[in-house]
Structure 1
Amino acid sequence: MAARAKKEVSMEEALWKAADKLRGSVESAEYKHVVLSLFFLKFASDKFEEQKAKIVAEGHEKFIDNIAFYTKDNVFYLPPETRWSYVMENAKQDDIALKIDTALYTIENTNPILKGALPDNYYSRLQLDTTKLASLLDEINKIDTSKDKENDIIGRMYEYFLSKFAIAEGKGKGEFYTPKSIVNLIAELIEPYDGKLYDPCCGSGGMFVQSIKFVEAHHGNKKKVSIFGQEYTNTTYKLAKMNLAIRGIAANLGETAANTFSNDQHKDLKADYIMANPPFNQKAWRADDELLDDPRWSGYEVPPTSNANYGWILNMVSKLSQNGVAGFLLANGALSDDGTELKIRQQLIENDLVEAILILPRNLFYTTDISVTLWILNKNKKERTVDNNGVEKHYRNREKEILFMDLR
């Protein structure tokens, strides 16, 4: 009797079923983290097996355990005890959580680019019922990741979970996942082809991923873009490292997850491009007596403790290179705040840093229907001609000019 073919399902269907397996055992905000690393394990294994078959097909069978034959094509080398086939063979065993943790630890140690990207002893600490964990593995096993030619599966998965479950998780903190359409808009406006790209609150690394896709879509060279980022939440920091490593995107995200204001991981950075979606209207972001003499506010008023919006703006202004350009999102209220924020706004205008203010339509985010503002800051609005990805581009003089557009 012929073996029954494994049923393949869409990623979205599999994710929904996977989430279903976790109900009652794990908080909904934790779903994405539980599923994410298992997805990664399946994804990395499928890529590994594909590369292994290619090595054999090319007559290099004796090199199937040579790490260099995998890394040259941006594929992670997986020792036998870390492969998905091994995990599935042991899925019903009582120590499966330990085996998964060991697999992730081994993969990270075998592939330096993944250092700090994978969870440490996570599944053992979860203490999930073995039957539930086995059912979860069965659902993920149904996904054919080889169809994901753009290596976008982690980003898609994260996006899906946020759309379904992150309403309560993000709303209270003013944190909203940036849709690809907005990231693409920022990339099209600031054109990050060549130089240092920085995101002070990089989340899962979505800004970086879409920026590199923008460069590739315009036939640029992604190796000309150096990426710098920082993220406060440890699980999201690991997610960003994983997200970028899967795509072979080298990045400096700092030594650890850290608060951008109190523990700046890139103090001396001067970036050519900045893209960001900071938490909106973040309150109590510093104590009354903290960061009063911070060099990032030099020449400006000290941003008030009641709202971090202008703290984020001045952090980015301080990081811009001589010709640097920044594109970032803020709540519309940042345009009309008075007091200290009004004074900082005036100083930004007097220093001729504001290039454009675009008020975007409502309903662009998964978890909120608010309209937001896209700010473009530019350190050099003078007339000049530059080589932009091999094309000569002439900029007219825009000093003392600001473009305002209300797109609602």
Structure 2
Amino acid sequence: MSDTSQTEQQFLKQLDDKLWASANKLRSNLDAANYKHIVLGLIFLKYVSDAFEQRQEQLVELFQTDNDDNIYYLSRDDYDSEAEYQQAILDELEVLDYYREANVFWVPKAARWSTLKEKAVLPIGSVIWQDAAGNDVKLRSVSWLIDNALEEIENNNPRLKGILNRISQYQLDNDKLLGLINTFSDTSFTKPVFNGEKLNLKSKDILGHVYEYFLGEFALAEGKQGGQYYTPKSIVTLIVEMLEPYSGRVYDPAMGSGGFFVSSDKFIEQHAGEQHYDASEQRKRISVYGQESNPTTWKLAAMNMAIRGIDFNFGKKNADTFLDDQHPDLRADFVMANPPFNIKDWWSESLAEDARWKYGTPPKGNANFAWVQHMLHHLAPTGSMAILLANGSMSSNTNNEGEIRKRLIEEDLVECMVALPGQLFTNTQIPACIWFLTKDKANGMVHNEKKRDRRKEFLFIDARNLGFMRDRVLRDFTNEDIAKVADTFHAWQRGQSYEDAPGFCASVTLDDVKKHDYVLTPGRYVGAPDQEDDGEPFADKMARLTTQLSEQFAESARLEAEIKRNLRGLGYDI
């Protein structure tokens, strides 16, 4: 659902290929799980430096523009010489408040990309600057130079404290890092041009795109482990398009690198025109909350938000969602998650009487319904949620799972079930589905549109036949696939010309679900697709097909006799 032009898409594709080829040279020295931190750290440095320089250019223009409304104007008449005036401008450019008021991270001189590019080529041991006490600082290595830049940025931007991953620990050659710096430098993120045409792409959009692309490629490179921080973009987009998070609190208790938050931000921007609101103002009505147990993934998510200028609350630290809830009092309007499927090792005896298990204690050997109930616990009274789970969650009756599912259904929390096609994930071949739940099926509004009373009704969507093979391994959704599923859900919610479509969707009652023993597999309800009527009468078609089958049997017998004759000619008796 991208609004970028074909030229812009070509530019981004060329940029992706170029940067990835450069980053991929590190694979001979490091595995993907490690080199992603080096590459994404450099992408982050490039972004904050570009945004800082762009703000500097704006400020220089403001300092020199004389009009009554411009509070930034510096009059040339107030200075004795041109040199003194230019120095005043340079001094003003170092005022931190000018950047923070524009939501731009302050980048100290030692952390600016121009400094990295200039100092990284010097011989090791060269004096590169003096510290605050006037002592010479010598270049130790390129990785030290980068880590110093990351530390300077953290120290000057409290929101980034503790989230930027240092790279010296990976002991990468200076030449390898210098090659990456040169490749990244040879790209204009603030003034993109493709085939001589200036593009209408902002620095934030380009770097955000590159970051997202790299996360996907790293997930592919890492295989199973990559799925811990990356949910395929098309699935994230589908969930966000169905839930429509225009405003409110958005929560992901298994956030990985924060893909749902990025997609929610894009959703607001892409729908601004049709809903007649200002995207930047609407963004202020969204607040994001997340949690992640893996410390490096937690940092990836924070960097991902910083790149896009999204305010976030990811708790004080990385932590186990079940054992150390970082948002105990949160009641979110939208909860979205792709938790790891079928986790066995999650239970602690401290969870035995937990208040979250309102609909039944989850089995100790499978966390699926623990995730569902944790998310429901954090859902506001009028909130909606979506969770990706393994298909077994829709039908399993072992270890209390069937009873929990029955309670969820009877208390009218389940709204929609979507069966997904296979091969969507980089890290697992387990068939998956999406559960959509809400605490209020009687009411609800979506950006001034009223939802109808949906109590004791359930929508089933079978999307297993949608999508296309992106390559030999992975399937993906098209924009049309996403729109088909989302539009069907919205039409059903709002009573706007919804109709059951055999083989694809069906609206059923609680009694229908009870007849199927509370199994929520869409295939049980949507039936088989209608066969197109080709206009041939049944009797004529049957006669034709019977004749055709008889001819094929005769041809089969002839071929069998000929094969036997040939074998006997070779001395084989058969």
Q: TM-score, normalised by structure 1?
A: 0.89
Cα deviations by residue, 1:5-35 (Å, 9 ceiling, x for unpaired) = xxxx623322222221x23322222121111
Q: 1:377 to 1:150 in 2, by over 3 A?
A: farther
Q: TM-score, normalised by structure 2?
A: 0.64
1:70 CA displacement: 1.7
**Paired residue for 2:417?**
357
**Paired residue for 2:100?**
71
1:51 CA displacement: 1.5
What RMSD over aligned residues (CA atoms) do the two structures have, in Å? 2.3
1:89 CA displacement: 1.3
Matched ranges for 1:159-178 at <5 A: 159-167=212-220, 169-171=222-224, 175=228, 177-178=230-231
SS, match of residue 381 in structure 2: strand
SS, match of residue 166 in structure 1: helix
**Paired residue for 1:195?**
248
Larger Rg: 2
SS, match of residue 296 in structure 1: coil
* 2:450 equivalent to 1:404: no
* 2:262 equivalent to 1:209: yes
Matched ranges for 1:320-339 at <5 A: 320-339=379-398
> Which piece of structure 1 moves more, 300-309 or 79-88?
300-309
Q: 1:285 to 1:157 in 2, by over 3 A?
A: farther
* 2:147 equivalent to 1:101: yes
Partner residue of 1:394 out of 431, 447, 450: 450
Cα deviations by residue, 1:328-351 (Å, 9 ceiling, x for unpaired) = 211212112222111110111111
Contact 1:116-1:241 within 8 A present in 2 as well: no
SS, match of residue 172 in structure 2: coil
Contact 1:277-1:330 within 8 A present in 2 as well: yes
Contact 1:275-1:328 within 8 A present in 2 as well: yes
1:367 CA displacement: 4.4
1:317 CA displacement: 0.9
What stretches of structure 1 of length at least 5 have no aligned partner?
Answer: 1-8
Partner residue of 2:18 out of 9, 13, 24: 13
**Paired residue for 1:251?**
312
Partner residue of 1:309 out of 368, 375, 386: 368
Alpha-carbon distance in 1 for matches of 2:203, 2:426:
23
Matched ranges for 1:178-327 at <5 A: 178-219=231-272, 220=277, 221-287=282-348, 289-298=349-358, 300-327=359-386
Contact 2:251-2:335 within 8 A present in 1 as well: yes
1:132 CA displacement: 2.2
Contact 2:383-2:439 within 8 A present in 1 as well: yes
Contact 1:173-1:279 within 8 A present in 2 as well: no
Alpha-carbon distance in 2 for matches of 1:361, 1:294:
35
Alpha-carbon distance in 1 for matches of 2:102, 2:226:
40
Alpha-carbon distance in 2 for matches of 1:150, 1:141:
14
SS, match of residue 273 in structure 1: strand
**Paired residue for 1:133?**
177
1:150 CA displacement: 6.5
Matched ranges for 1:1-150 at <5 A: 10-20=15-25, 22-58=26-62, 59=64, 61=89, 62-92=91-121, 93-94=123-124, 95=140, 96-119=142-165, 122-146=166-190, 147=192, 149=202
Amino acid across the alignment from 1:141: S
SS, match of residue 360 in structure 2: coil
> Which piece of structure 1 moves more, 125-134 or 160-169?
160-169
Alpha-carbon distance in 2 for matches of 1:317, 1:155:
31
1:191 CA displacement: 1.7
Amino acid across the alignment from 1:380: D
SS, match of residue 288 in structure 2: strand
Alpha-carbon distance in 2 for matches of 1:274, 1:79:
37
Q: 1:356 to 1:385 in 2, by over 3 A?
A: closer
Alpha-carbon distance in 2 for matches of 1:256, 1:271:
20
Alpha-carbon distance in 1 for matches of 2:100, 2:161:
15
SS, match of residue 437 in structure 2: strand
Which is bigger in relative contact order (C-alpha 8 A, separation at least 6)? 1
Q: 1:157 to 1:307 in 2, by over 3 A?
A: farther
SS, match of residue 376 in structure 1: strand
Contact 1:332-1:372 within 8 A present in 2 as well: yes
Q: 1:163 to 1:199 in 2, by over 3 A?
A: closer
Q: 1:244 to 1:176 in 2, by over 3 A?
A: closer
Q: 1:161 to 1:313 in 2, by over 3 A?
A: same
1:361 CA displacement: 2.4
Alpha-carbon distance in 2 for matches of 1:200, 1:54:
39
Cα deviations by residue, 1:83-102 (Å, 9 ceiling, x for unpaired) = 11111112134322222111
1:398 CA displacement: 1.1
Contact 1:177-1:365 within 8 A present in 2 as well: no
Amino acid across the alignment from 2:440: N
> Which piece of structure 1 moves more, 154-163 or 239-248?
154-163
**Paired residue for 2:561?**
none
Alpha-carbon distance in 2 for matches of 1:18, 1:376:
38
Once the two structures are aligned, what percentage of the paired residues are identical?
A: 46
Alpha-carbon distance in 1 for matches of 2:92, 2:113:
21
**Paired residue for 2:542?**
none
Alpha-carbon distance in 2 for matches of 1:89, 1:293:
60
SS, match of residue 351 in structure 2: coil
1:173 CA displacement: 8.3
**Paired residue for 1:347?**
407
Contact 1:201-1:229 within 8 A present in 2 as well: yes
Q: 1:137 to 1:173 in 2, by over 3 A?
A: closer
Alpha-carbon distance in 2 for matches of 1:228, 1:338:
33
Contact 1:14-1:143 within 8 A present in 2 as well: no
SS, match of residue 356 in structure 2: helix
Contact 1:329-1:373 within 8 A present in 2 as well: yes
What stretches of structure 2 of length at least 5 have no aligned partner?
Answer: 1-13, 65-71, 73-88, 125-139, 193-200, 465-574
Contact 2:229-2:257 within 8 A present in 1 as well: no
Q: How many residues align?
A: 392
Amino acid across the alignment from 2:108: P
